[in-house]
Amino acid sequence: MAAKKVLIVFAHQSSGSFSAAAKNAAVEVLTAQGCTVEVSDLYAMNFKATATAEDIKGDIKEAENFSYLKESRLAWEEGRLSDDITKEQTKLTEADLVIFQFPMYWFSVPGILKGWFDRVLTSGFAFSLEKMYSQGVFKNKKAMLSFTTGSLESMFSPTGVNGDMNVTLWPLQNGILHYCGFQVLAPQIFWAPSCASPEARQCMLEGWHTRLQGLLEEKPLSFIPLDSFDEKGFQLKPDVREKHASKEFGLTVGIHLGKPLPPHSQMKAGC
């Protein structure tokens, strides 16, 4: 594997946590392969989670009707974003692969990581109406979620009390990562390590070590290309709908055409 730059965005308060052990494993294995690995330890950095006018240097153009989306884009264009944002954007620009390492909170990410998404993935820098999804800004980069759960795997199944994990992951993997153009690698899920024996936790980490060996050669998850939608209303083109009319499953979790959800579409590499 050619030398690559990897950014790990780490969101856990404790250096003794399982999440920290997973982050350390990624640093160790990828560095040994010749990668340059940088870690953004959000809690250690005291990273600001709230997207506010403080993120913008200089005057706010419309202070009385403040729009973070518009003001942050203008500030990005004019080089007026706060230093903590621009530092993270530089790391992201230089990275070939981004790994988000975190414990799942309320079926999503911790607030500090959500704040990283809100503030760092600025309009213009990370996305626009002209550059999104398969034509997105980061279409030449890879990204993945690596996280722990508090619930057992069986609880996140189609028949489990929490529902299908593929549905849970759709807003994160499609709505954030794929929306910005990333090639999304299948997530690394550590199922309820807090409930597992020391031996089982060690087995989880060993599995992660093994996967890391060939991580950058993995095939990304499959998403619907942007050109499958019309340019006016962003609706599926009639020929695409017709092509899938006779198929058993829908296209994806989010675009299922009233059919059964496709199995594992957010958890296994695409065909």
Q: What band does 271 get if pLDDT is binned at 50, 70 and 90?
A: very low
Instruction: Evaluate whether residue 235 is within a structural domain.
Output: no
CATH code for the domain of 126? 3.40.50.360
Give the pTM.
0.95
Per-residue model confidence (pLDDT) at position 132: 95
Instruction: Evaluate whether residue 231 is within a structural domain.
Output: no
Instruction: Evaluate whether residue 247 is within a structural domain.
Output: no
Per-residue model confidence (pLDDT) at position 232: 85
Q: How many domains does the chain have?
A: 1
Residue 84 has pLDDT above 80, yes or no: yes
Instruction: Evaluate whether residue 250 is within a structural domain.
Output: no
Secondary structure (DSSP) of the chain = ----EEEEEE--S-TTSHHHHHHHHHHHHHHHTT-EEEEEETTTTT------GGGB-S--TTGGG--HHHHHHHHHHTT-B-HHHHHHHHHHHH-SEEEEEEE-BTTB--HHHHHHHHHHS-BTTTB-SSS-GGG-TTTT-EEEEEEE-SS-GGGGSTTSTT--HHHHHHHHIIIIIITTT-EEPPPEEE--GGGS-HHHHHHHHHHHHHHHTTGGGSPPPP---GGGB-TTT--B-HHHHHHTTT-SS-SSSS--TTSPPPTTTTTS---
Work out the mean pLDDT of the chain and round it to a whole number: 95
Instruction: Evaluate whether residue 176 is within a structural domain.
Output: yes
Instruction: Evaluate whether residue 9 is within a structural domain.
Output: yes
The residue-averaged pLDDT of 79-86 equals: 98
Domain of 132, in residue numbers: 5-219
The residue-averaged pLDDT of 115-130 equals: 97
